[in-house]
Structure 1
Amino acid sequence: MSIFRLRATVLVALMGVGGCSLIPDYQRPEAPVGQGWGTSPIAQANAPRVAWQQFFRSDALRELITQALLNNRDLRVAALNIEKAHAQYRISQADLLPSINASGSGASQRVPADLSTTGDNQITHQYSAGVGFTAYELDFFGRVRSLNQQALELYFSTIQAQRSVKVALIAEVASAYFQLQADQQLLGIARKTLASQQDSYALVKSSYDQQIATELDLSQAESTVRTAEAAQAQYGRQVAQDRNALVLLVGKPLAPEMFAMVAIDAQAVDEQLPVGLPSDLLMYRPDILEAEHQLKAANANIGAARAAFFPSITLTASAGAASADLGQLFSGGQGTWSFVPSINIPIFNAGRNQANLDVARVQSSIEVANYQKAIQVAFREVADGLAARDSLTTQVIAQTRLEQANHRNYVLADSRYREGVDTYLNALDAQRNLFSAQQSLVNTKLARINNLVSLYKALGGGESTELATR
């Protein structure tokens, strides 16, 4: 075997040697939350996920969400961040193998006679061609593989970040749609109330003209009309703004029929939302998974910082042909090769390596705190949602009864006033109370359905979690 073949064999063997890893063994930090949801009923273990198509039962809302997932710019940026992170991971992965390049060069040189070894002017030529690699690091201590593992975890992190944006977008579109429906319903109530109060004002003015009603009655009646006009203008403005918000979230202009009014009562969602145990959040909440991958990336970076304390071995090798005559470059006997191994042993760098290791360890501790905080935030959001779910249902029932009672009271008070049995003040108070109760009922129903949407989001939505166990 020739010397060249022997060294090539040794080189291939060295490149195939697997080094050790200095990445600390990963241990998932303990979740700083309890095992239950406080005063809420005990959750079901291993609760199944509910996809948003099943959770939201309105065809119009499902169409809006579908369009938002296709056109929303924030979601598009999140998807592009995944592509960027994957490309960065591929760059890091490429460092595990040498970069082999082909090269060719030519050089000509004239040497004057007084510098020439022959005493005559000389013109020399040199041509070469070959393939090889430069400064390829043999990863005996896992520095390159640690950096590659860090890039991989950051890639997984961006995937979970995109899932988080997607779940948040679904919830935001639903909330914006429900807000629009509530404001349109409130606008309808304001218009109806205004028409009723204008009718009452006309009646009071007729009585005033006949010197039956007082000027105070007329002033109070006009005040209620102006209040209703202001409320109508307010809700009209809110409806227009709600439509603009929905268009922004969906990411494209919407047809007028997409804004058609549907009563909040008709906005059905899956109220039997499976909750699961608090530990389920670690598997389903994308923001928690994102924080955990960030933690794993920081953990891998510790391995790279540790490896910097050990010697690094790099190889430079090439093989090809060289000749003084371009025509003879690839003739027999013109072969050339070089093999240049080098070792770098850190001796003194003013504490740089230790400082880098300290930074990596502190960053890992920071990511542990971020991970645990993400768990605590998620736990609170779910617990708050569960605490509000039953109480809001009770509140809607009570508010409905209050609205019904105020409606009966208004009908009786208005009838008594028209019959001349009672004063206009009682009818005016009854009308104000009814308007206020109607507004409160719509807002309470909106709060209840938004609570269910927030709870669905807090539980992580129904997206796939295939990367959760990696």
Structure 2
Amino acid sequence: MRFRSLFPALTLAGTACSMTPALTLPPPPVAAVYPAAAAGTVFAVPDWRAMFGDPRLQRLITLALAENRDLRIAARNAEAARAQIRVQRAQSLPSVGGESGYTRQRQPSNVAGAGVGLTPITGGARGIEFGQFTVQAALTAFEIDLFGRLRAMNEAALQRWLGSEEGRLAVRLTVIGVVADTYFAERLAEGQLRLTTATLENWRAALDIARRLKAAGQASGVDLAQAEGQVRQVQADLAQRQRELALATNALTLAVGAAFPADLPSPIGLMDQPIPTALAAGTPSDLLTRRPDILQAEHELRAANADIGAARAAFFPRLSLTAAFGVASAGLSGLFNGANQTWSFSPSLSAPIFRGGELRGNLDLARLRTSVAVATYEKTIQTAFREVLDGLAARATYATQSAEQREVARHAERREALALLAYRAGMTGRLELLDAQRSGYGARQAALAVRREELASATALYRALGGGVSRLAPSP
């Protein structure tokens, strides 16, 4: 018998019926449009390089995409899922192995019998000793997938790999967002440190004026004490700002995953960051094809549905095939003569009779996991919808708030300068100057903080919209 005679049996695996139920994705449990979205906006999320225009930030993001450990873990998980596809698919293909061997044995005459065609080598009438050379190729326990069990398992493995690829993209988007967010936090800390340093210099100058006026008898000890206390407070603020900058730099280093190179471009100040904040949102249906976490949840749902098919098929009989073809001879020289051919063909059919409820339990478990996957898919969509709504609300308000806060800071600086001139001329008291200085200091700090929040909200909206992720059709 030749192996080509087995081909009709092997092709049965490709014509198996399927026990996997048809999957219809649940409708998105959110509104069809965003309440705060402008009508007619075109959905186009820029690439991260177009989104974050600071050359220093771009270098840090590039470094993070190569060095961040979370991204490495996600990439390795995707590779492991891809390898699992190959392992699973191998179960659907024939496993053919070749072997050769030599056997020498002795049997008593009363066991071997007389006249069986064996020529005694030694031993005479009391026994027969002989050797045998064999070469064969064997097909071992190949399952013919009549009811689609292996095909369902292959589909589940494929969907989990696709889900892991989307998970890798989700982690990549998260890394970009975290690096940008921590970078802006560092820029805020650096800006506040600069502001505090400049304020300390100005207030030390004001303290020197208060001392001279006190020496000339034109100011009281109360004025001098107020000026000294004000300088001490800013010195305490300076130590806090230095600590905050060090902590922000540490957080940014962790987000990047590597030490900063020495040739990084100079940073752009927080107030001048070239970040587009008016991103177009499109419609919620756009999220279903762009958000990696939603697509990952969809693939997990499809994998769980395929598990139901595999669990159903386990109730039905399994047809397995074992076959071998080779040659055997007592002598090596004539091993490959046509008369020395050997073959065996062993189909087997096994059917479950009693498994103690294991099969029913596996099917119930697969159905429950599919229900959980449906709920997870819907929850992921709802979370994405809420994140976009939050981003749209921020987009609609932060621009105005930031512009107004800058005007507040500008007027406060002007008032502080006029109050200092009036104090030097003796037209006003120390208390009015103190109030103007504190107001100006607080207004400038608030302007920095609002700008930081505006940039953080733009980054969050960028992530919520899918982050301009580009996809290539993967092949397992």
Partner of residue 41 from structure 2, selected from 25, 41, 44? 44
Counting only pairs closer than 5 Å after superposition, residues 123-272 of structure 1 correspond to structure 2 as 123-256=129-262, 258=264, 260-272=266-278
Matched residue count: 463
CA distance in structure 2 between the aligned counterparts of 1:300 and 1:287, rounded to whole angstroms = 20
Partner of residue 296 from structure 1, selected from 299, 302, 325? 302
- Structure 1 contact 43–277 (Cα < 8 Å) conserved: no
Matched, 1:409 2:418: no
Q: Percent identity?
A: 38
In structure 2, do the counterparts of structure 1 residues 376 and 227 end up closer, same or farther at CA, with 3 Å as the change threshold? Answer: same
Partner of residue 393 from structure 1, selected from 389, 399, 403? 399
- Structure 1 contact 385–455 (Cα < 8 Å) conserved: yes
CA distance in structure 1 between the aligned counterparts of 2:68 and 2:208, rounded to whole angstroms = 50
Give CA-to-partner distance per residue, 1:336-386, whole Å, 9 cap, x none.
100000001111111111100000000001111111111011000000000
Counting only pairs closer than 5 Å after superposition, residues 39-78 of structure 1 correspond to structure 2 as 39-42=36-39, 44=41, 47-78=43-74
Q: 1:452 offset after TM fit, Å? A: 1.0
CA distance in structure 2 between the aligned counterparts of 1:91 and 1:286, rounded to whole angstroms = 26
1:26 is matched with 23
Secondary structure of 2:73 counterpart: helix
Secondary structure of 1:370 counterpart: helix
Give CA-to-partner distance per residue, 1:235-258, whole Å, 9 cap, x none.
222222333333333333324563
1:95 is matched with 91
Q: 1:26 offset after TM fit, Å? A: 1.4
Q: 1:458 offset after TM fit, Å? A: 0.4
Counting only pairs closer than 5 Å after superposition, residues 316-327 of structure 1 correspond to structure 2 as 316-327=322-333
Matched, 1:86 2:92: no
Please give the TM-score of this superposition, normalised by the length of structure 2.
0.91
Q: 1:9 offset after TM fit, Å? A: 4.9
- Structure 1 contact 132–318 (Cα < 8 Å) conserved: yes
In structure 2, do the counterparts of structure 1 residues 129 and 150 end up closer, same or farther at CA, with 3 Å as the change threshold? Answer: same
Matched, 1:333 2:329: no
In structure 2, do the counterparts of structure 1 residues 416 and 296 end up closer, same or farther at CA, with 3 Å as the change threshold? Answer: same
Give CA-to-partner distance per residue, 1:192-226, whole Å, 9 cap, x none.
00111111222223333445433333332222112
The answer for unaligned runs of 5 or more in structure 1 is none
Give CA-to-partner distance per residue, 1:34-66, whole Å, 9 cap, x none.
112224433636x23421222222233223222
- Structure 2 contact 36–392 (Cα < 8 Å) conserved: no
- Structure 1 contact 35–279 (Cα < 8 Å) conserved: yes
- Structure 1 contact 141–310 (Cα < 8 Å) conserved: yes
Deviates more, 1:89-98 or 1:200-209: 200-209
- Structure 2 contact 56–267 (Cα < 8 Å) conserved: no
CA distance in structure 2 between the aligned counterparts of 1:409 and 1:179, rounded to whole angstroms = 29
Partner of residue 11 from structure 1, selected from 6, 9, 27? 6
- Structure 1 contact 44–276 (Cα < 8 Å) conserved: yes
CA distance in structure 1 between the aligned counterparts of 2:133 and 2:472, rounded to whole angstroms = 56
Secondary structure of 2:138 counterpart: strand
CA distance in structure 2 between the aligned counterparts of 1:114 and 1:13, rounded to whole angstroms = 44
Letter in 1 for 2:54: S
CA distance in structure 1 between the aligned counterparts of 2:323 and 2:109, rounded to whole angstroms = 36
Q: 1:117 offset after TM fit, Å? A: 5.3
- Structure 1 contact 283–465 (Cα < 8 Å) conserved: no
Letter in 2 for 1:221: A
Secondary structure of 2:92 counterpart: coil
1:441 is matched with 447
CA distance in structure 2 between the aligned counterparts of 1:316 and 1:339, rounded to whole angstroms = 6
Q: 1:398 offset after TM fit, Å? A: 1.9
- Structure 1 contact 295–364 (Cα < 8 Å) conserved: yes
Deviates more, 1:192-201 or 1:221-230: 221-230
Letter in 1 for 2:68: N
Deviates more, 1:248-257 or 1:186-195: 248-257
CA distance in structure 2 between the aligned counterparts of 1:256 and 1:235, rounded to whole angstroms = 24
CA distance in structure 1 between the aligned counterparts of 2:376 and 2:6, rounded to whole angstroms = 44
Deviates more, 1:273-282 or 1:238-247: 238-247
Q: 1:10 offset after TM fit, Å? A: 4.8
In structure 2, do the counterparts of structure 1 residues 124 and 257 end up closer, same or farther at CA, with 3 Å as the change threshold? Answer: closer
> Aligned-pair RMSD on alpha carbons?
2.2
CA distance in structure 2 between the aligned counterparts of 1:362 and 1:41, rounded to whole angstroms = 41
Q: 1:324 offset after TM fit, Å? A: 3.2
Deviates more, 1:397-406 or 1:340-349: 397-406
Please give the TM-score of this superposition, normalised by the length of structure 1.
0.92
- Structure 2 contact 166–296 (Cα < 8 Å) conserved: yes
